[in-house]
Amino acid sequence: MSGKKAPGVDPARSLALLWGSHTKPGRSGLTVRAIVEAALGIADAEGLDALSMRHVAERLGVGTMSLYTHVPGKGELTDLMIDAAYGELYRDVDEPSSQPDGWRGALEFVAARNWDLYRRHPWMLQIVTPRPVLGPNASLKYEAELRPLDGVGLSDVEMDSVLALVLTHVEGTARVRAGLAQVEQATGMNEAEWWLASAPVLDKVMDASRFPVASRVGTAAGQEHQGASDPAHALAFGLARILDGVADLITRR
């Protein structure tokens, strides 16, 4: 009943960390900001698997445990990384609300920006515990993405739901793409090669007559996409259907 406390899950501490300015260096120049930047560099270049506290410290020329003076643990570090990545989204670019094509164009812009974000930082899709980040850049992102939906005839709750729907779709398709890329890099085989290596075994082991629709559709989709799936196509197709559905919702008013 008492509920044993997990270590370092103090929301106040995390929030203060997220919203702090992180600019006061200690006596060796170590800063939260520098730690986050080093971690981002590692994750971007070598993937999330290569992100370890030792590796970050090494890149900064600092003892491993020194990081813990500035950051409570790895979980909080990844939270900071995520918020920092969100910071790139609408920094030097027009906000979605200034897009010319109304709410639909704005949401397409939002989808494209997030899609690009996940391509630059595929590790974001592998962070295990998606505790809500609530950092300054996440808040800015939420505001910027919500604004073009304001005043188009949706309730406040619906605005939130529509945005979440689009973002979930982008994240899901981006995750598929990131997975394909990771497998491709890990195995050295691209999608077509993998299929080629699998096909003979699959034919031998899988009785196509048991899966008539699946084999017909799977073959057609495979031909079309040059592989088992085409994330870019899935993004565009799904977004079109979703926005059509949202249009229905709006015009029904």
Partner DNA sequence: AGCGCTTCCGTACGCTGTACGGTACAGGAT
Partner DNA sequence: ATCCTGTACCGTACAGCGTACGGAAGCGCT
Of 112 and 228, the one with the shorter C-beta distance to a copy of itself is: 228
Among a copy of itself, DNA, none, residue 27 binds (CB under 5-8 Å by kind): DNA
Among a copy of itself, DNA, none, residue 105 binds (CB under 5-8 Å by kind): none
Spatial distance between the Cα atoms of 23 and 116, rounded to a whole number of angstroms: 29
Spatial distance between the Cα atoms of 184 and 187, rounded to a whole number of angstroms: 5
Q: What is the pattern of x (binds a copy of itself, CB under 8 A) and - over residues 6-45?
A: x--x-xx--xx--x--------------------------
Residue span binding DNA (CB under 7 A) among the ranges 13-21, 28-36, 89-97, 104-112: 28-36
Spatial distance between the Cα atoms of 161 and 249, rounded to a whole number of angstroms: 12
Of 57 and 149, the one with the shorter C-beta distance to DNA is: 57
| Contact with a copy of itself (CB under 8 A) among 34, 112, 152, 228 | 228
Q: What is the pattern of x (binds DNA, CB under 7 A) and - over residues 44-83?
A: ------xxxxxx------xxxxx-xxx--xxx--------
- Assess 198 for contact with a copy of itself (CB under 8 A): yes
Tokens of 202: 């699959």
Let me know: does 18 contact 79? Beta carbons within 8 Å.
yes
Beta carbons within 8 Å of 246's beta carbon, 6+ residues apart: 104, 107, 162, 165
Q: What is the pattern of x (binds a copy of itself, CB under 8 A) and - over residues 59-88?
A: ------------------------------
Q: What residue has token string 């920094």? A: 91
Residues 134 to 153 in contact with a copy of itself, rule: CB under 8 A:
134, 136, 139-140, 142-143, 146-147, 150
Beta carbons within 8 Å of 215's beta carbon, 6+ residues apart: 208
Angle 74-86/11-19 helices, nearest 10 degrees?
40
Spatial distance between the Cα atoms of 61 and 140, rounded to a whole number of angstroms: 33
Residue numbers at the binding site for DNA (CB under 7 A): 7-8, 25-30, 50-55, 62-66, 68-70, 73-75
